Amino acid sequence: MTAPARRGMRSALAGLAVNAVLALTKLVAGLIGNSYALVADAVESTADIVSSLVVWSGLRISTRAADEAYPFGYGKAEPLAAAVVSLLLLGAALGIAVKAIQEIVTPHHAPAPFTLAVLVGVIVVKEVLFRRVFAVGAAVGSTAVRADAWHHRSDAITSAAAFVGISVALWGGAGWESADDWAALAASGVIVFNGLRILKPSVDDLMDRVPTGDVLARIEAAARSPNGVRAVEKLRVRRAGLGYYADIHVQADPGLSLHDAHVLSGRVKGAIRESVPSVAGVLVHMEPFEPPP
């Protein structure tokens, strides 16, 4: 297992432990304190627990070595995990929205003031967790870990919305009890936005979209570097988990023997792997160089 994968899995497990404690705390406080926004927040934290498990499992599977059944490895498990996390977010948002609307049309008591203190603690913890997990996801290049981080940010946002709603309900007094539920409804919209934001890059990876950033330029520059390479063309790169697979056509002197061409292709592969360590595999097509007319 690679160091980036281990780092991503550790961040997922840490998030799971924190979310378990926060979910229980918010659920108890919401039920006792008569705050549906806080209960909705607990539901979102429970979804976070599931998402962390999904991310951990996806990363674990993605590190398996290639075999006869999966000759390109199991890297797609990582963006698939990210897609599942985004769908969990969207499902949680729908459930929160439906229940919030039910609470809005049903008269009930105002939330208890102590729920505000609970929410302040939750917001601080979740924002710190978001920043740390997102930094890990960016460092290891994991879509799934970044998706897990945005799940933490969504939890912080729902908690902030709940804080505002409960504050309005307490400040407004009689007739403002539903402000707490309107906050939960607004939070569900934010969760939908983040769910869709996470879904796009994971679908891009599953569909083998061209990687963003300077990956292509770095691979092409490395392929041109060995002596004997006259030109490169038809570079195709796709992402698989935490790594990339490259397919490139390299042109060399037409007089090269088959053996020498094979040696040169090996040097090209080595140059690419050395320049871009995240490239897991390279397929080099050797062709005779034909100068442009």
Rounded Cα–Cα distance for residues 197 and 193 (Å) = 6
Task: Give the rounded distance of the alpha carbon of 61 from its chain centre.
Answer: 16
Choice between 127 and 241, residue whose per-residue pLDDT is larger: 127
AA letter at 81 = A
pLDDT above 60 for 1: no
Give the residue from 98, 103, 88, 280 showing the smallest Cα distance to 199. 88
Q: What is the pLDDT of residue 28?
A: 83
The span from the CA of 166 to the CA of 9, in Å, is 36
Q: Is 113 exposed, middle or buried (0-12, 13-18, 19+ CB in 10 A)?
A: exposed
Q: Are 77 and 70 in contact (CB under 8 A)?
A: no
> Which CATH entry fits the domain spanning 3-206: 1.20.1510.10, 1.20.210.10, 1.10.3660.10, 3.90.380.10?
1.20.1510.10
Q: What is the pLDDT of residue 107?
A: 62
CA angle 177, 194, 74 (to 5 degrees): 140
The answer to whether residues 81 and 57 touch, using CB atoms and an 8 Å cutoff, is: yes
Indicate the domain borders of the chain.
3-206, 215-288
The pLDDT, as a whole number, for residue 2 is: 63
pLDDT digits (tens, 9 = 90+) for 257-275: 899 999 999 999 999 999 9
**pLDDT digit string, tens, across residues 149-191:** 877 777 787 778 778 877 877 776 666 667 777 877 887 887 7
* pLDDT for the residue numbered 108: 59
Tell me whether domains 3-206 and 215-288 share a fold.
Answer: no
- pLDDT tens digits, residue range 59-113? 788 778 778 888 878 888 888 888 888 888 788 788 778 877 877 777 656 667 7
Average pLDDT, the chain: 81
- CATH 3.30.70.1350 correct for 215-288: yes
Q: Over the stretch 29-60, which tens digit does the pLDDT of each residue have?
A: 877 877 766 776 677 677 777 777 887 787 78
Q: Is the pTM of this model over 0.75?
A: no
Cα 268 to Cα 283: distance, rounded to the nearest angstrom: 10
Per-residue pLDDT at 250 = 92
Asked if residue 152 lies in contact with residue 131, where contact means CB atoms within 8 angstroms, the answer is no
- pLDDT reported for residue 36: 66
Report which of residues 158 and 215 the model is more confident about: 215
Token duo for residue 238? 């796709």
Provide the token pair at 216.
Answer: 């292509």
Mean pLDDT value of segment 250-258: 90
